[in-house]
Amino acid sequence: MMRLKGKIALITGGANGIGLATTERFAKEGAKIILWDVSDKGNNVATRLKKENYEVVFKKVSVSNKQEVQKAVAQAREHFGRIDILINNAGITKDRTLLKMSKEEWDDVIAVNLTGVFNCTQAVAPIMKEQNYGRIVSASSNVAIRGNFGQTNYVATKSAIIGMTKVWAMELGRYGITANCIAPGFIHTAMTDLMPEEVRKESIPHIPLGHWGVPEDIANGYLYLASDEASFVSGICLTIDGGAAR
């Protein structure tokens, strides 16, 4: 049984890493996919999945650009008629310690990771309200809870995601819309591959399961919260980090 059969899912940052794993998993679970990414790789992903008889529409969208987001949401609704699921997955890092962080590094991460989530949710929520149905799932991080050296900007955004999610659960629940987020721990992606090797090695003793996760682990979490199995789950942050202590 496909858990998302007939559902229309908008996935931001859907061409790489966790987003790609989510795009593939949702398609296999019966969803029709609106794939957004700033990378042209999204074209290749959509083409490949179409050859496998999945319905995927790719649009190059910068979530930090409100007008671009609103236009793309309108086009998606015109194409599919509705939007059932929003996965706010797009995100970037520009790490630097507090005393060295530039205004540009701060502004860029805030624009994508926080304002981008706001832009997408504000654009999609009215459609979900009209449908009296919706699933909003956003990407937080386990560093939102414990902090992380050199990530003032990133942690600020991921902590804010948890707060916004709780607000949206309160505001939108009356319209049949759930709002949740996921806090991944260390996951093998192109982004985390850029981390220093010693940092990656030092993380392992703090993960009780003894290894990092893979993008599919997070895609599974997105799938649960986006499915009707989670119809009474709202306002939570699901941590998927192998039991990491810090």
The pLDDT of residue 31 is above 70: yes
Find all residues with CB under 8 Å of 22, minimum gap 6, and list them. 11, 14, 87, 89, 215, 218, 219, 222, 223
Is residue 229 domain-resident? yes
CATH number, domain at 176? 3.40.50.720
Give the pLDDT mean for 198-221. 92
Q: Among 54-63, 130-139, 177-186, 194-203, which stretch is predicted with the lowest mean pLDDT?
A: 194-203
pLDDT at residue 168, rounded to an integer: 98
Tell me which amino acid residue 149 is: F
Is residue 53 domain-resident? yes
Give the pLDDT mean for 34-62. 97
At 162, is the pLDDT very low, low, confident or very high (cuts 50, 70, 90)? Answer: very high
Helical H runs in the chain?
17-28, 41-51, 66-80, 103-110, 116-131, 143-146, 152-172, 197-203, 215-226
Is residue 160 domain-resident? yes
Q: List the catalytic residues.
A: 154
At 246, is the pLDDT very low, low, confident or very high (cuts 50, 70, 90)? Answer: low
Average pLDDT, the chain: 96
pLDDT at residue 106, rounded to an integer: 98
What percentage of the chain has pLDDT greater than the value 90?
90
Tell me which amino acid residue 42 is: G
List phi, psi (to 5°) of 51: -65, -25
The pLDDT of residue 107 is above 90: yes
Is residue 3 domain-resident? no
List the domain range (segments joined by +) for residue 119: 8-239
Is residue 107 domain-resident? yes
CA dist 196 and 198 (Å) reads: 5
The total domain count for the chain is: 1
